[in-house]
């Protein structure tokens, strides 16, 4: 019996050794085959935007705050009108999230900035770089924004000037034309004392209107309304409750409204004070004064509206936590959401298949719309 068990164990050991040897032998070719497959899928996903049905699409490629969170990039909203891709704000990490969603930065038509807080512009340099090198653009990225956008764009252009030289020298001007590097500012004036909007972009059936919001002492700060073939959406930017936002969000299909979870911020403020960090406690105590609680955003913006839009809060809950309230009267035909453990994770597919993590997307086909 002992001899039989010994032979059985020896056979099993030989089998395990053979499996391990085969695994080691085929590890490299299997790994390369998997890499080829994944690379092909990545480029296939980037090409899928062209196959989208005609319409207006939007989603989050960043919904974080300055507080550290490994699951979220900084504030960033993508908008697809027809075959054209636009970006609102470029928070840290948002260019990579955009690529993970299958949206090639090379397809970006323009970037629109709501204001110049660091968390909304930290990814701007990388976003402009990826657009340039991704398709050999000969013209720099248009960057729209209120007064001050000139300084922001010029600063990033200067910071990336050495990098530009390295890439041209390495890849050649035919692959990365020097004229396409960086960005070009497209400033527009805005009347902060009025709720009037200003059309900042009008092309290929898309109208983008900027309007003032309340984010003092940050002045000016704006939100944007996108109208395309009878569908519409608004991106609030950072703001306290604001009459101009209420006006321009009236009648839209989808509203991306910032949301700050004040209870969580208060917990962090108190913790900072208890642990001898009065400066951080002061900053955390000040933050709620120029933001909107998610539970306040819905009633404020729905007031007086015959039909309310889907509401997608898109900014900072403390430490990744967030609170969401969706208004009734849904009119977007295709709105997908997936949450993980109460946290928002903001990269994924925007069209087709199951969302990776918790991508937010709203797909609005052409249809009747109104602008009250």
Tens digits of pLDDT across the chain (372 residues): 566 666 666 666 666 666 666 566 666 676 666 656 655 665 555 556 677 888 999 888 888 777 777 888 889 999 999 989 999 999 998 998 888 888 889 999 999 999 999 889 999 999 999 999 988 899 999 999 999 999 999 999 999 999 999 999 999 999 999 999 999 999 999 888 888 889 999 999 999 999 999 887 888 899 999 999 999 999 988 888 888 888 898 888 888 888 877 778 788 888 989 999 888 888 887 777 678 777 777 655 545 443 445 555 555 543 333 323 333 333 332 322 222 223 334 433 233 222 333 334 444 444 443 333
Tokens 């007086």 identify what position?
Answer: 304
Rounded Cα gap, residues 286 and 257, in angstroms: 20
The single residue of 119, 227, 238, 310 carrying the catalytic annotation is 119
Record: fold of 52-364: Metallo-beta-lactamase; Chain A (3.60.15)
Cα-based torsion angle of the residue sequence 94, 95, 96, 101 in order, rounded to the nearest 10 degrees: 90
Rounded Cα gap, residues 88 and 209, in angstroms: 13
Domain residue ranges in the chain: 52-364
Residue by residue, DSSP assigns 265-286 as HHHHHHHHHHTT-HHHHHHHHH
- Active site annotation includes 119: yes
Decide: helix, strand or coil at residue 302: helix
- How many CB atoms sit inside 10 A of residue 104's CB? 20
Size of the chain, expressed as the number of residues it contains: 372
Rounded Cα gap, residues 146 and 233, in angstroms: 20
pTM of the model: 0.76
């Amino acid at each position: 019996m002992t001899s039989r068990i010994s032979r059985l164990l020896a056979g099993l050991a030989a089998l395990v050794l053979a499996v391990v040897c085969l695994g080691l032998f085929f590890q490299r070719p299997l790994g390369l085959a998997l890499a080829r497959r994944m690379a092909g899928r990545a480029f296939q996903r980037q090409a899928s935007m062209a196959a989208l049905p005609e319409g207006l699409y939007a989603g989050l490629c960043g919904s974080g705050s300055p507080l550290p969170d490994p699951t979220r990039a900084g504030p960033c909203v993508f908008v697809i009108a027809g075959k054209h891709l636009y970006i609102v704000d470029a928070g840290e990490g948002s260019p990579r999230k955009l690529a993970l969603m299958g949206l090639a930065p090379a397809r970006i038509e323009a970037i629109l900035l709501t204001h110049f807080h660091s968390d909304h512009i930290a990814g701007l340099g990388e976003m402009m770089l990826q657009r340039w090198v991704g398709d050999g653009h000969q013209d720099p990225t248009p960057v729209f924004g209120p007064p001050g956008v000139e300084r922001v764009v010029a600063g990033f252009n200067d910071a990336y000037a050495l990098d530009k030289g390295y890439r041209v020298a390495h890849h050649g001007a035919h692959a990365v034309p020097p004229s396409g590097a960086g960005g070009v500012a497209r400033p527009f004036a805005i009347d902060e004392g009025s709720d009037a909007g200003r059309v900042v972009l009008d092309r290929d059936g898309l109208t983008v209107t900027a309007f003032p919001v309340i984010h003092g002492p940050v002045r000016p700060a704006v939100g944007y309304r996108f109208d395309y073939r009878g569908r519409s959406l608004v991106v609030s930017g950072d703001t306290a409750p604001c009459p101009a936002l209420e006006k321009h969000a009236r009648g839209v299909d989808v509203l991306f409204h910032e949301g700050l979870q004040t209870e969580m911020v208060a917990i962090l403020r108190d913790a900072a004070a208890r642990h001898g960090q009065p400066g951080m406690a002061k900053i955390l105590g000040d933050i709620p004064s120029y933001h909107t609680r998610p539970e306040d955003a819905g009633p404020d913006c729905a007031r007086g509206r015959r039909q309310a839009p889907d509401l997608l809060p898109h900014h900072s809950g403390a430490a990744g936590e967030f609170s969401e309230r969706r208004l009734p009267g849904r009119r977007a035909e295709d709105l997908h959401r997936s949450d993980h453990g109460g946290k928002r994770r903001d990269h994924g597919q925007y069209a087709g298949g199951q969302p990776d993590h918790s991508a937010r997307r709203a797909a609005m086909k052409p249809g009747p719309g109104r602008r009250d």
